[in-house]
Chain A
């Protein structure tokens, strides 16, 4: 028997829980009614989510096969895979794919490594640990646009930004941060924002370590490095994977920092920004949709791994309960 709630994306919305409409089968009408009654609380959320999140993607897929510019709507026509060919051969779009990969990879790797170091530091007891934790979380709790503005104007500004101010005190050079190293500038602000996220996840992982095993290893004469290498790191593996993958999923989509810091200039336009530009300013609906479809395909690849990691943590949790 097929269960309509599970194969959701392909099937589209079902009529809301026809609770108490078991007329079709004579076999087990009561069973069926009960099943629908169980499903009923789930249906509103499920249907809402399918309509609001899945339908637009279907529409995007359809639009991606059309040549459609909003400035000349009368010339809208079906062109098959033409848009994808254009996207693939478009220098700007190809560069933005590269930028997206570079930006995401750099930010994720650096913030995972920093987050791990900070989590290890915070896993020890020391005076004021709670306060330090709070200070470290603060960057994550700024509105992303506000944090991008802060970096752009108060920190990076070549004339009066804090960075050059400090360099001035130290007698160092006075770089124009955003023009001289645009992508690095975006990456630094994002690393600052995402390191706390990684730290929180990894700290949770560290604190779920079985302490008796570490105690036993220590009694057997294992050193700190050995304990870290052979006990802590394997235990953390899935938390590292989780942080990496969730971070990737979020940062691939980053729009605020690129939009605010550089407006996509100086080779920092990532895919979300390029798509936004293509349809919002250039009004190339077909092209934007084709690029969107490519982003979705790319994300699905990452997301499949992400889901697998989440699922293994989740199932462990369920079986433990």
Chain B
């Protein structure tokens, strides 16, 4: 227990404890300071998004300028610009469907790697992981050519497939670690009652591993939503996703700082929400389950 809690500075506090307490308080302040420095650009983005364009692009910055929703109104096409809704919905579709596919594929796989293990299951785990380590850009051209030949370009389902493969290894690793925590006796009891694998997965395992599965889904959702290289190369007008829209938005509209900030806020909101919701399991997902 270090300082800053309970100011129990009664009588006989030894001097070294007081010094330690003072240092603890100083380090706490330092942490606060760095935290604010880190979050400041985000806050600045949010603040600017609520400023009028003329107040947004000033030097020195107009911190106390009046607030307005104009940036958001213009982002959503009040001035007749391209509507952001189709890309936002495309992103939502690609992220949600790929996350669903990931769950459908990863849950049984994780079962076979944790509860009823295949032989050499660790080798299989590391094969999954190794696919995540290869740079996607190196496989992009064949995917592009394949999509072009099969008229699959600018199709949201192509992104769904690619995002599924991108997130599957992470999901398998995370879920494996969650399922491995389930006591075998619970599952055996269900099987004794004649339940088959799908029933066991849905009725027995899913409820226990529920929070873990939810965190896995959120992380897969974030990665799909953020993805830009595939979206940039493989989509055009119809299937464009939000990140690709965001880059095109700037080049085609010139620079409207408040509007760009509003766009960035809107497009980041789902990720911020999902990320804070999955905060506890974030490390585990990002380290592919290696850190609990």
From B169, B261, B290, contact of A314 by CB (8 A): B290
Closest to A58 in B: B142
Q: With the chains together, A74 CA to B266 CA distance in Å?
A: 46
CA separation between A144 and B225, bound complex, in Å?
Answer: 10
- Give A253 Cβ to nearest chain B Cβ, in Å: 5
**A6 CA to B191 CA, complexed, in Å:** 27
**Chain A interface size, under 10 / 10 to 19 / 20 to 34 / 35 or more:** 35 or more
Residues of B with C-beta under 8 A to A49: 128, 131, 165, 168-169
Contact with B along A36-54 (1 / 0, CB 8 A): 0011111011101100111
Chain B: minimal CB distance from A23 (Å)? 21
- Scan residues 1-45 of chain B and give those whose CB is less than 8 A from a CB of chain A: 1-5, 24-25, 27-28, 30-32, 34-36, 38-39, 41-42, 44-45
Does B150 interact with chain A (Cβ within 8 Å)? no
Known pairs A126-B28, A146-B246, A296-B134; A204 contacts B291 (CB<8 A): yes
Question: Which residues in window 55-92 of A have CB below 8 A to B?
Answer: 55-57, 59-60, 63
What size tier do the contact residues of chain B reach? 35 or more
Given contact pairs A142-B272, A150-B41, A150-B264, A8 touches B127 in the complex (Cβ within 8 A)? yes
Given contacts A160-B57, A307-B126, A310-B288, contact A155 B197 (CB under 8 A): no
**B 21-75 contacts with A by CB, 8 A:** 24-25, 27-28, 30-32, 34-36, 38-39, 41-42, 44-45, 48, 56-61
A318 to B125, CA, bound (A): 13
Contact between chains at B180 and A127 (CB < 8 Å): no
Q: Which candidate, A117-125, A175-183, A226-234, is the interface stretch facing chain B?
A: A117-125
Asked if A121 and B31 make an inter-chain contact with CB atoms under 8 angstroms apart, the answer reads: yes
Are A255 and B228 within 8 A (Cβ)? yes
A118 and chain B: residue at smallest CB distance: B34
Q: How far is it, in angstroms, between the C-alpha of A236 and the C-alpha of B276 when the chains are bound?
A: 25
Residue of A nearest to B42 (CB): A138
Cβ of B100 within 8 Å of any chain A Cβ, yes or no, is no
User: Is residue B130 within 8 Å, beta carbon to beta carbon, of the partner chain?
Assistant: yes
Beta-carbon contact of A60 and B286 below 8 Å: no
Supposing A126-B2, A137-B279 touch, asked if A38 and B116 sit within 8 A by C-beta, the answer is yes
Q: Chain A 112-138, CB within 8 Å of chain B: the 1/0 string? A: 000000100110111111011111111
Complexed CA–CA distance, A52 and B146 (Å): 11
Contacts of B215 in A (CB 8 A): none
Contact mask for chain B residues 96-133; partner A; CB cutoff 8 A; 1 contact, 0 none: 00000000011011011100111110111111111111
The verdict on B161 contacting chain A, using a C-beta distance below 8 Å, is yes
CB-based contact B172/A45 at 8 Å: yes
Task: List A contacts of B213 (CB < 8 A).
Answer: none
**Does residue A109 face the partner (Cβ distance < 8 Å to B)?**
no
Which residues of the other chain, A, contact B35 by a CB distance below 8 angstroms?
Answer: 131-133, 135-136
Min CB distance B196 to A, Å, is 11
- Of B128, B133, B247, most A-chain CB atoms within 10 Å: B133
- B203: Cβ under 8 A from any A Cβ: no
Task: List, in ascending order, chain A residues with CB within 8 A of B228's CB.
Answer: 144-145, 255-256, 259
What's the nearest-Cβ distance from chain A to residue B239, in Å?
A: 17
Contact status B2-A45, CB under 8 Å: no
Which chain A residue shows the least CB distance to B139? A56
- Assess the A137–B36 pair: CB atoms within 8 A: no
Q: How far is the CA of A90 from the CA of B247 in the complex (A)?
A: 29
| Least CB separation from B274: chain A residue | A141
CB-based contact A118/B31 at 8 Å: yes
CB distance from B2 to the nearest CB of A (A): 5
**Could you tell me the distance between the alpha carbons of A165 and B61 in the complex, rounded to whole angstroms?**
6
Do A154 and B41 contact each other (CB < 8 Å), given the known contacts A142-B272, A143-B271?
yes
> Chain B contacts of A309 at CB under 8 A?
290
A contact residues around B168 at 8 Å (CB) = 45, 48-49
Question: Does chain A have a CB within 8 A of B94?
Answer: no
- Contact check: which of A160, A246, A275 meets B58 at CB < 8 Å? A160
What is the distance, in angstroms, from B245's C-beta to the closest C-beta of chain A?
Answer: 9
Are the CB atoms of A153 and B105 closer together than 8 Å? Answer: no
Q: How far is the CA of A45 from the CA of B121 in the complex (A)?
A: 14
Please report the C-alpha to C-alpha distance between residue A205 and residue B291 in the assembled complex, in whole angstroms.
8
**CB closest chain-B residue, reference A169:** B60
Let me know if B36 and A126 touch, CB within 8 A: no
B246/A149 in contact, CB under 8 A = yes
Kindly list chain B residues whose C-beta atoms are within 8 Å of the C-beta of A9: 127, 130
- Flag whether B283 is at the interface (Cβ < 8 A): yes
Which residues in A have some Cβ–Cβ distance to B below 8 Å?
Answer: 3, 5-6, 8-9, 35, 38-42, 44-46, 48-49, 52-57, 59-60, 63, 118, 121-122, 124-129, 131-147, 149-151, 153-155, 157, 159-162, 164-166, 168-169, 192, 195-197, 200-201, 203-205, 208, 239, 242, 246, 249, 252-253, 255-256, 259-260, 271-272, 275-276, 279-280, 285, 288-289, 292-293, 295-296, 299-300, 302-303, 306-307, 309-311, 313-315, 317-318, 321
* Interface CB pairs A-B, < 8 A, 17: A42-B118, A53-B165, A125-B1, A139-B38, A139-B41, A142-B271, A143-B225, A154-B44, A160-B257, A165-B59, A166-B61, A168-B59, A200-B282, A246-B288, A253-B135, A275-B140, A276-B233
Given A48-B105, A56-B146, A124-B27, 16 more contacts at CB 8 Å? A40-B112, A42-B118, A49-B131, A53-B139, A118-B31, A125-B4, A142-B264, A143-B225, A143-B267, A155-B41, A239-B291, A246-B287, A272-B137, A276-B140, A288-B141, A311-B122
The list of the 4 closest CB pairs from A to B, nearest first, reads: A126-B28, A56-B139, A41-B108, A292-B138
